[in-house]
Amino acid sequence: MIMKTQVFEADLVQFKIGDPAEITVESLPDRKFEAKISRISLTPINPGLGDPSYYELELSVSNPDLTLKDGLKAVACVRKPK
C-alpha cells in the first residue's frame, strides 16, 4: 500500500529513498506498520515564494493481512538509520 504525506522543506533534506518508517493508524491504536520511503517529490506542493514549502513523500507500507484501507487517518514516523 502507498501512503502519501507532506514534509516541511527543512525536514525533507534529511530523508532519502529507502529510509525506514513506522505507521500508526488512529483507528488501530494497538498496531504499527513498517514502511519505507519510496518517492520524494522534487517540487513543493505550493510553489509560492511567500508560503512555507512542503513536499510530498510517498511511503510503501507493508499490509500483508489487508488491514489497512484507503482513507484511514495515519501518522508516519521516519527513522533515520544510524
Task: Provide the CA 56 distance to its chain's centre, in angstroms.
Answer: 8
pLDDT at 81: 63
Take residue 64 and report the three cell numbers written for it: 500483508
Domains of the chain: 2-78 (2.40.30.170)
- What is the Cβ-side half-sphere exposure of residue 46, based on CA atoms within 13 angstroms? 10
Q: What is the mean pLDDT of each run of 10 residues along the chain (82 residues)?
A: 91 92 92 94 80 90 91 87 62
Determine the 3-state secondary structure of 30 from DSSP.
Answer: strand
Instruction: Render 1-22 in DSSP notation, one character per residue.
Output: -EEEEEEEHHHHTT--TT-EEE
pTM of the complete model:
0.83
Instruction: Write down the pLDDT at residue 82.
Output: 62
Q: Phi first, then psi: what are they for 11, rounded to 5°?
A: -85, -30
